[in-house]
Structure 1
Amino acid sequence: MNRTLTALSLGALMALQLCLSPRAADAETAADDAGYRILHVMSYHSPWRWTDGQLQGFKEALEDLQVEYRVFQMDTKRNSSPEAKERVGREARALIDAWQPDLVYTTDDDAQEYVARHYIDADIPFVFSGVNKDPATYGFVGSRNITGVVEHEHFVESVQFLGKIVPGVKKIAVVFDDAAMWDPVRERMLKGAGRLPGIAFGPWDTIRTFAEYKRKISEYQDTVDAIGLIGIFNFKDEGGNNVPYQEVLKWTAENSRLPDFGFWVDRVHYGTLCAVTVSEQEQGLAAGRIARAILAEGRSPAEFPMQPTVKGLPVLSLARARDLGFIPTTSILLSSEVIQSYDWDSR
């Protein structure tokens, strides 16, 4: 059974606890005897391929077990203020305390910052995936109940793939929004740049508004050969609201003549030229295998090192390549996942 809860109020949770009569409590015990209860706290929202794919991979690893799932969507990409994150983090923690799952699966960084780190060395095991920051940032290293899978982007491979599609790229601008999760990504990219001789990177721009983003993209047209579109979720409109990343990418595809790359497959569906993607399926599958060992084999979370998955997949937007005037070679097409059209054309 899969129940999805978004921004569940603390009042509702208190009412839930009050409603647990002895008969209801007996039913909960029976459910426990029949299987496991797992709460998935996702930083972001569903439907979205990145979050849904992680959960799909996680479930695949536990498909031989009887599991009741609940899903809590923090929705922090669309509601990114510190106040909103604090509020929804409290609600997720209240749900954990009320439902007492056998294991909590947390995906991406906000779920670690606002939920998981409050349970270090608690009795409930936590398994994470999709985490960009060093787990030590959250105090997880050395904890007895928290482990998981780190997300490291395929930066060098993505730039090399771009170079196969568009030979002659020598200078690349890199774009971030102001989310703290991009700090370690930027650091890894700066280190990786040394493995890409002959290519200069810069400017490394942190952009806060959609209007500023549009200005920067226009400036890049005459100053660089390509763009790395990394952090694109927190650009504010005139009303201070986050502009959906799909809208950001659609505008880019329609107004930029420069090739661009990212690290995630959903970006390519919305017009980014290419990526060697972090596999959301592999992230979730690796986390699920850890969770299965904890639940079914009685192993301790502390036994599992916190390390990244290594599998990457080249993905190409054929629609964007055509619009930019590039003709990918047969070898590129045969060795890549090819997105034939823009997502908005199919709606």
Structure 2
Amino acid sequence: MTMWALQSWSAAAEDNGVVHKAPYKILYIMSYHSPWRWTDGQLEGFKEGMADASVEYQVFQMDTKRNSTADAKDKKGQEARALIKSWQPDLVYTTDDDAQEYVTTHYVNRALPFVFSGVNKDPKNYNFVGSKNIAGVLEQEHFVQTINLLRQIAPGVKRIAAVFDSDAMWEPVMARMREYVTQIPEVEIVAWDRFQTFGEYQRKIKEYPGQADAIALIGIFNFKDAQGKNVPYQDVLRWTAENSTLPDCSFWIDRVHYGTLAAVTVSEREQGLAAGRLARAILVEGQNPSSLPMRPTVKGHAVVSLARANKLGIKIKSGVLLSAEVIKKFDWDQ
């Protein structure tokens, strides 16, 4: 089953919809790297979604937080496509946007089935909608819930400065934030700032107390140092926790481990679980990928940093602590 014909899905199911073929070969192409909770958690969820199907996995890391230039991403995309050609998987699982742009888009309406998760951009941008061989799971932020959680912790928050690096992947996130902030009439986003260098970011963080009550730390992966190299996002967050006097929020749990005050996170497990169920429907049940809906996961997970609250002098109410996962120490103090 390593060479798929597009018409095969309609005729593949046998014995009440079950296709007897194992082990399946699944190639997992991550935009980022491992070990990391986001990428590893998606794979764990995916395996859970595949249930009892026998699968041989291979993993390819594009590592685009370090390989962040267009040329470097293109090179990693070429390596991934070469691996697809040589290993001939039954299905490719791709996570986050870089893998879609540099890998999956080369296979639209081709024979090999693809399942994606963690995608921020509209799948129409990749020509995925209507493609016969592509299904997937969208990543959409829990913006309103995150701001409500932040305001439970810091009730005085009304003006928020939103921070992004220069990567185009944040544009749809910004658009959704602009839309959803209208649901919270007490809150205004007073700055939509994009930075290329870590120095620019550091200077602005120190200026925000005169302009805003809180900071939304969204795009922080591609700040450059004086030598033009990427500053690891963990270093960005540690500097922020040690130097910023404002409460802050984001949408991902790893940010809270590295000092961000609060988030209602997109669950990496839920993203992978939904993708794994799609892959099982394609491989085991013989369903056509184009018949499977592309939609986001809806379950969020509240997380707060007690360490950051203590540093900011904020006392979090017991009801908030009881309803959220509590990170008691900064990651660098573990």
> Normalized against structure 1, the TM-score is what?
0.90
Alignment-derived partner of residue 92 in structure 2: 104
Alignment-derived partner of residue 28 in structure 1: none
Alignment-derived partner of residue 195 in structure 1: 183
Residue 33 of structure 1, CA deviation: 5.8
Alignment-derived partner of residue 139 in structure 2: 151
> Does structure 1 residue 338 correspond to structure 2 residue 318?
no
* 8 Å CA contact retained: 1:43, 1:75: yes
Match of 1:228 among 208, 212, 216: 216
SS at match of 1:322: helix
Alignment-derived partner of residue 83 in structure 2: 95
Alignment-derived partner of residue 238 in structure 2: 250
**Counterpart-to-counterpart distance in 2, 1:196 and 1:207:** 26
Matches within 5 A, 1:1-347: 34-346=22-334
* 8 Å CA contact retained: 1:43, 1:110: yes
**Counterpart-to-counterpart distance in 2, 1:33 and 1:198:** 56
**Counterpart-to-counterpart distance in 2, 1:117 and 1:85:** 14
Residue 170 of structure 1, CA deviation: 1.3
Residue 34 of structure 1, CA deviation: 4.0
* 8 Å CA contact retained: 1:259, 1:324: yes
Residue 198 of structure 1, CA deviation: 1.6
Alignment-derived partner of residue 5 in structure 1: none
SS at match of 1:198: coil
SS at match of 1:221: helix
SS at match of 1:297: coil
Which amino acid counterpart does residue 342 of structure 1 have in structure 2? Answer: F
Superimposed CA distance per residue, residues 151-196 of structure 1 (whole angstroms, 9 cap, x where no aligned partner): 0001111001000000111111000000110000000000111011
**Counterpart-to-counterpart distance in 1, 2:276 and 2:22:** 19
**Counterpart-to-counterpart distance in 1, 2:217 and 2:22:** 47
**Counterpart-to-counterpart distance in 1, 2:333 and 2:138:** 34
> Normalized against structure 2, the TM-score is what?
0.93
**What is the aligned-residue RMSD (CA, Å)?**
0.9
* 8 Å CA contact retained: 2:138, 2:294: yes
SS at match of 2:168: coil
* 8 Å CA contact retained: 1:132, 1:184: yes
* 8 Å CA contact retained: 2:22, 2:53: no
Which amino acid counterpart does residue 247 of structure 1 have in structure 2? Answer: D
**Counterpart-to-counterpart distance in 1, 2:333 and 2:152:** 27
Q: Which runs of 5+ in 2 are unaligned?
A: 1-19
Query: Runs (4+) of structure 1 moved beyond 3 Å?
Result: none
**Counterpart-to-counterpart distance in 1, 2:321 and 2:148:** 15
**Counterpart-to-counterpart distance in 2, 1:41 and 1:231:** 22
Q: Which runs of 5+ in 1 are unaligned?
A: 1-31
- Which structure has the higher relative contact order (CA within 8 Å, separation 6+)? 2
Superimposed CA distance per residue, residues 40-74 of structure 1 (whole angstroms, 9 cap, x where no aligned partner): 00000001111111001001112401100000000
Residue 250 of structure 1, CA deviation: 0.2
**Counterpart-to-counterpart distance in 2, 1:61 and 1:310:** 16
**Counterpart-to-counterpart distance in 2, 1:293 and 1:223:** 51
**Counterpart-to-counterpart distance in 1, 2:145 and 2:49:** 28
Alignment-derived partner of residue 10 in structure 1: none
**Counterpart-to-counterpart distance in 2, 1:291 and 1:259:** 40
* 8 Å CA contact retained: 2:217, 2:249: yes
Percent of residue pairs identical: 65
**Counterpart-to-counterpart distance in 2, 1:91 and 1:169:** 46
**Counterpart-to-counterpart distance in 2, 1:94 and 1:325:** 53
Residue 221 of structure 1, CA deviation: 2.0
Superimposed CA distance per residue, residues 221-264 of structure 1 (whole angstroms, 9 cap, x where no aligned partner): 22210000000000000111110000000000000110000000
